[in-house]
Structure 1
Amino acid sequence: MKVKRYLVNDMSEAMIKIKNELGMDAVILNTRKIKTGGFLGLFKKTVLEVVAAIDEPVLPKKTRQVSENNSRPEHVQPVKEPVVVNSEMMELKKMVQILIEKVDHIEHTERAVQVDSEPAKESVYIDYLKEKDIQESIAKKIMEIVQRQISINEKNHESILNAMKVIAREYLGEVKTIDRDLPGNPGIYLFLGPTGVGKTTTLAKIAARLTLVENKSIGLITADTYRIAAVEQLKTYSEILGIPLEVIYEASELESALYKFKDKDYVLIDTAGRSHKSKELQSDFDELMQFIDHATIFLVMSMTTGFKDMKNIIDSYKFLEEYRLLFTKLDEATAYGNILNLKVLTGKPLSYVTTGQSVPDDIEEADREKIIQIIFDEA
């Protein structure tokens, strides 16, 4: 009795293989669908298992009798041994059924182990997100949602990775830039943030973009008179772009500066960069806001700053009710998870990102798709 097991896509494929290999007299003993292949339960494929058998004929036995006077062999007619096909088939079916039950038990045990190992696999992906500079608490939130959204049968590396990207993209939320805002009378924008994050250069880039691309009329005001270099830098940009600039040394001078720009589309105000540990942060802000009816605030953060310091900076500006996140120096960063971290931490909208020192080129809208690509190293 010859028995063979076939793994095929369908019965027609099985029939062709069985006929070619076992012949027309073969008998199919069992068929069932199983999953095969994969690693740690991932990438498994459903196939059809077919067990077939054929009764092998008894081959003739040759005996030779050599006479004393003649050395030529003499052939004896083959003797057919009795074969009880039906009983053998029944016995074979029982054996196959026992084997199938054992295999089912093994596969059930493997599936139980895979289910038990789900936390271990989740831990692997949490570590993967942490390598992207995404905070552990946020990584866990993402994976909790992934576990709820993807069924066990659908879980593989590709589906998990895609789900993580979708969730991260949703966390990034709506992007708010100046050109998307409704027209103001004029629209007033304050740029806040610690020393060295690139507020002045960033403000100049946005001013150039609004002037050259959007064809808007702009007025610039700087209150950053603590650094002479910052004032001179903004003067140079204003002269090149043909944008008027007002320098104020006291908060009270802001009122007259704003009056001069009452007919402009937008007024951009550069503020003094202070350490986030400074006690004057709120008092400086409150003094300026005495002379402004309403302003949109950009909190400028450098991507070269670690998360712990970023969090401290955010905490130091907790007196702000509303603001937009603006990230600079992406070209100098090695990981980009902090964009997602700060978005989740603050709940504030993203606005712009800067990617170099060139004015006006190295600034762009904080596009969610691009951010996902750079976070997951796909840019």
Structure 2
Amino acid sequence: MRVKRFFAADMRSAMKLVRDEMGADASIIANRRVAGGVELTAALDYEAPRLTPPTPGLDLELKKTQERILSARASLEEGERPAEGPSVNRQLFGDSMRQAAEQGSAVAQGLIERLHSERAAPAAEAAAHPAPVGGEELDAMRSEIAGLREMLESQLGGLAWGQVNQHQPRQASLWRKLIHLGLPAELCKELLTKVAEVTDVRQAWRLLLAHLSQGLPVLRDELIERGGVIALVGPTGAGKTTTLGKLAARYVLKHGSQNVALVTMDTYRIGAHEQLRTLGRILNVPVRVVDEQNSLAEVLEEFGNKRLVLVDTAGLQAQDPHLRGQLSELAAQGARVSTLLVLAATSQYRVLKAAWHNYRGCNPVGCILTKVDEAATLGEALGLAMEQQLPVAYVADGQRIPDDLARGVGHQLVSRAVGLAGNETAEDQTMADVFAGILHNQRAS
């Protein structure tokens, strides 16, 4: 028998390591949470213990043990530690122990020994000093249950995908293509319902892309042509300052520099405002810094005669109190300021969604997708825009000012996403993980 331990950040990754190295016939014989992830112990050619007839006199002992287990579970529900019993997860072992006791098997005897070996105290002392279940022990129970749930969801996800792949090959093919675009699973599921009656795969794929183009929100008019105050917000490294320079240069080339002003609220990065001042000197437009001496309201009042004012902000961590102050200052201006959320197309969907939740308090009217030229997929960004109904205002696909900036157009973005995906499709393991994620979301909701 071959036994090996596997370490990974989560249960799904650990299960994938087991399958890749030991094959589908491997058995998971133990799992536990460790620092930085989970640990699985897997065995190949593992034989489960066989049931043997009960030994004489064991029936009475098993019956007593069963009564103690039931009593322990009742005490646990009341928030007290049982007078005599283990610190392992009753939810995991209770039913199997009771069944084993009824059958009088050797497996039950092994579990009994494990329960007693973990923690045994004199019955009289435990009865005289009952203690509540400790928080650490409850956390350990919850962690063990969560690990088993994650393992079960992974297995069920693989089974669910196998059924779809076998019995609905047309739908499975479309699933693979949509997931390979990088679109969120729930959005893929919603799109597939719209072509459920189409039997031809090619026609269904074209209809899916058409629905995707129509459902993608974009700003019909160019925002800088409307004028007013436009603030760019977003996480660190999204490309706010470079994008602001592109917008300013774009406007100056068309309307001149006399009606444009630049403002920066980024006083946290070393040399951040100097970068904007250099841009202001090149474009011949004024630049002001919002700091302790000059509030945003005062600076905007100073530039009240300008047709277009572009405001650059600092990219800060979500827990940073300065971020909340910065967003509150923007929100205090009300409809006077139009906010655009700058998102890097190279980011994962979870990162993009976290950025949306962090900055939605300033009511962004749209988003700018940056670093499109560096992205492997566009589905994550397009999926967020569709789910949150956040119109795409501009797309930036390079560092050149102002050339690498274009307005967001639905069918062009979808065509570019398809071009990045190529003719490849998602692998079976990826699809199994997607279906496991759907099961997890359904259970969570």
**Residue 399 of structure 2: which of 357, 366, 369 is its match?**
357
Q: Corresponding residue for 1:140?
A: 189
How far residue 354 of structure 1 moved from its aligned partner, in angstroms, is: 0.7
**Residue 199 of structure 1: which of 227, 230, 240 is its match?**
240
1:370/1:220 CA distance change after superposition, 3 Å: same
What SS does the corresponding residue of 2:362 show, helix, strand or coil?
coil
Q: Corresponding residue for 2:178?
A: 129
Tell me, in whole angstroms, the C-alpha distance in 2 between the residues paired with 1:203 and 1:292.
Answer: 21
Q: Corresponding residue for 1:190?
A: 231
How far residue 215 of structure 1 moved from its aligned partner, in angstroms, is: 4.3
Q: Corresponding residue for 1:249?
A: 291
How far residue 285 of structure 1 moved from its aligned partner, in angstroms, is: 1.3
Contact 2:330 2:362 in 1 (8 A): no
Contact 1:343 1:349 in 2 (8 A): yes
Alignment partner of 1:212 is 2:253: yes
Tell me, in whole angstroms, the C-alpha distance in 2 between the residues paired with 1:252 and 1:292.
Answer: 19
Any residues of structure 2 matched to 1:1-379 within 5 Å, and which? 119-148=168-197, 150=198, 155-176=199-220, 178-179=222-223, 182-183=226-227, 187-215=228-256, 217-250=259-292, 252-290=294-332, 294-377=336-419
1:161-181 CA distance string (max 9 Å, x none):
210111000111232554476
What SS does the corresponding residue of 2:336 show, helix, strand or coil?
coil
How far residue 338 of structure 1 moved from its aligned partner, in angstroms, is: 1.6
1:250/1:119 CA distance change after superposition, 3 Å: farther
How far residue 299 of structure 1 moved from its aligned partner, in angstroms, is: 0.6
Contact 2:223 2:393 in 1 (8 A): no
What SS does the corresponding residue of 1:138 show, helix, strand or coil?
helix
How far residue 347 of structure 1 moved from its aligned partner, in angstroms, is: 0.8
Contact 2:224 2:251 in 1 (8 A): no
Tell me, in whole angstroms, the C-alpha distance in 2 between the residues paired with 1:262 and 1:351.
Answer: 24
Contact 2:339 2:363 in 1 (8 A): no
How far residue 227 of structure 1 moved from its aligned partner, in angstroms, is: 1.4
For structure 1, the 5+ residue unaligned runs are 1-115
Structure with greater Cα Rg: 1
Of stretches 251-260 and 335-344 in structure 1, the one that deviates more from structure 2 is 251-260
What's the TM-score, normalizing by structure 2?
Answer: 0.54
For the aligned residue pairs, the C-alpha RMSD in angstroms reads: 2.4
1:310/1:293 CA distance change after superposition, 3 Å: closer
Contact 2:261 2:309 in 1 (8 A): yes
How far residue 135 of structure 1 moved from its aligned partner, in angstroms, is: 1.1
For structure 2, the 5+ residue unaligned runs are 1-164, 423-445
Contact 1:176 1:324 in 2 (8 A): no
1:265-308 CA distance string (max 9 Å, x none):
11111011112343443332113443566211011111111111
Tell me, in whole angstroms, the C-alpha distance in 2 between the residues paired with 1:260 and 1:330.
Answer: 36
What SS does the corresponding residue of 2:231 show, helix, strand or coil?
strand
Task: Provide the aligned length of Structure 1 versus Structure 2.
Answer: 256
